[in-house]
Chains A and B, each alone.
Chain A
Amino acid sequence: MSASMAPQAHPRGIFHKAGSLRAERRWALWSAYISLVIAAIIMLAPPFYMLLTSIKTSAEIADLSGNPWWVNAPTFENYWALINNPMFRGFFYNSVKVTIAVVAISMVISVLAAFALGRMRFWGSQFLATGVFLTYLVPDTLLFIPLYQIVGGLGLLDNAWGLVLVYPTLTVPFCTWIMIGYFASIPKELDEAALIDGANWMQMLTRIFIPVALPGIIAATIFAFTVSWAAFVYPTAFITSPSEMPMTIGVVSQLIRGDTFAWGQLMAGALLAALPPVVVYAFLMDYYIAGLTAGATKG
């Protein structure tokens, strides 16, 4: 009360100061919530609209007179059509196959490499660690043409296993990099104690490093999963027959036919394809974020 009644003659009075500080806080809180609400509406509008479209009938989608942001007769027929479509199930199966293989390969390679780079000091280890990071900065769009030739030379073009060969270029560098960070944070005393007890390097890795750095390993696994599930450049370049396509390119290229798009099915397909990463992230968001922020800020 005294704050608002502070006389103009003493604008620097302590009461006035305290009152304006509180008002400033309240104003900041309000503006924060308002901005967040607006931002959330904008961020969620496209997926929400995709969901709306996917549960509309084709007739309702084609009807220009109604409100596009509303659905009058919700139906799951688009989803049913896709789930009963063997081609679409094939996309899903290919994505799962490729992603599992890529995640397994990337994690084995990067945990071993990070352990070696983080703990065994050997000639060139510093150089190699920098190399790993630089590789992470090389985008896939720079390499897809030479890789197209190389994969073609190996006879793996138009084959989902060819993707398993090239996706590690996207996943391994970053996974290794964050694992180095996590392993480096494990106190030296732990492995010295293990060495004294007669453990060899491999035992040290499996008994100490992997359990202690588990959050980092989970983060790296989610990263590898997300990246190989969402990969787009390599499959568009390498895969041409629908039977070998993973989800991303399958939905984009095969559900679009002719001039009239089956928008309902297209949106249903896109949402089904986006579901696995969204589910994983809903449960493991904190690990993922911790891994990413550690990766980009600490190294």
Chain B
Amino acid sequence: MTLPLILVIGGLVAWPAGYAIYLSTLNRRMTEFIGLTNFEILLESDSFRMVIFQSVFFAVTAVILKALIGFWLAHMLHHIPTKGQRKWRGMLLVPWVIPPALSTLGWWWMFDPSYSSINWLLNIFAVPSVPWLGEPWWARISVIIVNVWYGAPFFMIMYLAALKSVPEALYEAAAIDGATSWQRLRYITLPMMRNIISITVLFSLIVTFANYDIVRVLTNGGPRDLTHVFASYAFQVGILAGNIPRGAAVSLFMFPILGVIAFFVLRGINKRNREEA
């Protein structure tokens, strides 16, 4: 009964992963074995070093913001009466339900240099227009904004589920002991949620790090290739420029980082399962 599953994992994940390693050691026309030359060429190029920097910066900043905003929203939702929670939760989850490639189109339009509706709002408050996608740092910030907008609701539902699992009695006991709300957060909520927080953060780190849709639609790596992340650069090099081995090498750079994160996710989950058992 597990045979189809093994076929999917083996044939469509494990085999391609191995094949990718093989591909990355070939020359451009895939006729000759050239060892690690592709990796060397990449590491020596300035634009690829920029890709490494941008991927890490993007993933870390976006995940931290998502986690903080998600935690805040989950907390706020938890505070209001249960009856209204479903309605609010539904509204706040909308960004996460729309396929990101499509909602990013909307953002792209909102960032449009001459018609930007965000700049229009800023101008009302006498804030000068921002060149959202035209200037490298603003383009980086724009990509992060869209990713945070899309991903924060996911953190929100995870944390909300976790908050609901913290026994109310602990808070009552703390209230009797005269604990402040900060102390309750620090000594009850955070320790009880520690595991879920770390699993969600690590998991989101993987997804964000490997993100493709938003960069592809919003900036397509521009301006001057400065907002490329691993995935979009691999696409650019491998599919669009037709250098498949080099593209495979680019995406393989993600592998060790993702491997390390996956190890910690798995450890966190095993720990959690043991606690529950």
Residues of A within 8 A of B (CB): 17, 21, 24, 28-29, 31-33, 35-36, 39-40, 42-44, 46-47, 49-50, 53, 61, 64, 67-69, 108-110, 112-113, 115-117, 120, 125, 128, 130-135, 137-150, 165-166, 168-169, 172-173, 176, 226, 229-230, 232-233, 236-237, 247-249, 251-252, 263, 266-267, 270-271, 273-274, 277-278, 281-282, 285, 289, 292-293, 296-299
Q: Which of the 9-residue segments B44-52, B60-68, B248-256 touches chain A?
A: B248-256
Q: Which of the 9-residue segments B31-39, B125-133, B134-142, B258-266 touches chain A?
A: B258-266
- Tell whether, in the assembled complex, residue A46 and residue B95 are in contact, meaning their CB atoms are under 8 Å apart: yes
Residues of B within 8 A of A (CB): 1-2, 4-6, 8-9, 12-13, 15-17, 19-20, 23, 69, 72-73, 75-77, 79-80, 88-95, 97-103, 105-107, 109-110, 114-115, 117, 120-121, 149, 153, 157-158, 161-162, 175, 178, 181, 196, 199-200, 203, 206-207, 209-213, 216-217, 230-231, 234-235, 238-239, 244, 247-248, 251-252, 254-255, 258, 261-262, 265-266, 269, 272-273, 276
Smallest Cβ-Cβ distance to A31: which chain B residue: B76
Contacts of B117 in A (CB 8 A): 49, 68-69
CB of B271, distance to nearest CB on chain A (Å): 12
- Tell whether, in the assembled complex, residue A142 and residue B210 are in contact, meaning their CB atoms are under 8 Å apart: yes
- Tell whether, in the assembled complex, residue B1 and residue A115 are in contact, meaning their CB atoms are under 8 Å apart: yes
- Tell whether, in the assembled complex, residue A32 and residue B199 are in contact, meaning their CB atoms are under 8 Å apart: no
Q: How far is the CA of A7 from the CA of B5 in the complex (A)?
A: 72
Apart from the given pairs A39-B73, A166-B12, A296-B199, 9 other A-B contacts in the complex at a CB distance below 8 Å:
A43-B95, A49-B109, A143-B12, A145-B244, A146-B23, A147-B12, A229-B99, A232-B213, A297-B272
Contacts of B13 in A (CB 8 A): 135, 138, 143, 169
- Tell whether, in the assembled complex, residue B73 and residue A109 are in contact, meaning their CB atoms are under 8 Å apart: no
From the candidates A33, A42, A47, name the one contacting B103 in the complex (CB within 8 A). Answer: A47
Contacts of B254 in A (CB 8 A): 139, 141-142
- Tell whether, in the assembled complex, residue A133 and residue B266 are in contact, meaning their CB atoms are under 8 Å apart: yes
* Given A47-B94, A143-B16, A274-B99, CB of A132 within 8 Å of CB of B244: no
* Given A50-B106, A145-B20, A270-B105, CB of A168 within 8 Å of CB of B12: yes
B-side interface mostly: helix
Q: How far is the CA of A147 from the CA of B251 in the complex (A)?
A: 13
- Tell whether, in the assembled complex, residue A149 and residue B216 are in contact, meaning their CB atoms are under 8 Å apart: no
From the candidates B100, B109, B206, name the one contacting A53 in the complex (CB within 8 A). Answer: B109
- Tell whether, in the assembled complex, residue B273 and residue A145 are in contact, meaning their CB atoms are under 8 Å apart: no
CB of A254, distance to nearest CB on chain B (Å): 12
- Tell whether, in the assembled complex, residue B239 and residue A137 are in contact, meaning their CB atoms are under 8 Å apart: no
Q: How far is the CA of A289 from the CA of B251 in the complex (A)?
A: 31
From the candidates A53, A145, A282, name the one contacting B248 in the complex (CB within 8 A). Answer: A145
- Tell whether, in the assembled complex, residue B102 and residue A168 are in contact, meaning their CB atoms are under 8 Å apart: no
Q: How far is the CA of A29 from the CA of B174 in the complex (A)?
A: 20
CB of B16, distance to nearest CB on chain A (Å): 4
* Given A116-B1, A263-B109, CB of A293 within 8 Å of CB of B79: no
* 7 A-B pairs with C-beta separation under 8 A: A21-B175, A35-B73, A46-B103, A50-B109, A150-B19, A230-B101, A267-B105
Q: How far is the CA of A188 from the CA of B114 in the complex (A)?
A: 64
CB of B79, distance to nearest CB on chain A (Å): 4
* Given A46-B103, A116-B1, CB of A137 within 8 Å of CB of B97: no
Q: How far is the CA of A73 from the CA of B185 in the complex (A)?
A: 51
From the candidates B1, B149, B203, B269, name the one contacting A113 in the complex (CB within 8 A). Answer: B1
Q: How far is the CA of A133 from the CA of B199 in the complex (A)?
A: 13
- Tell whether, in the assembled complex, residue B120 and residue A69 are in contact, meaning their CB atoms are under 8 Å apart: yes
CB of A266, distance to nearest CB on chain B (Å): 6
- Tell whether, in the assembled complex, residue A128 and residue B95 are in contact, meaning their CB atoms are under 8 Å apart: no
Contacts of B9 in A (CB 8 A): 131-132, 135, 172-173
Contacts of A134 in B (CB 8 A): 262, 266
* Given A49-B110, A293-B161, CB of A169 within 8 Å of CB of B4: no
Smallest Cβ-Cβ distance to A266: which chain B residue: B105
Contacts of A21 in B (CB 8 A): 175
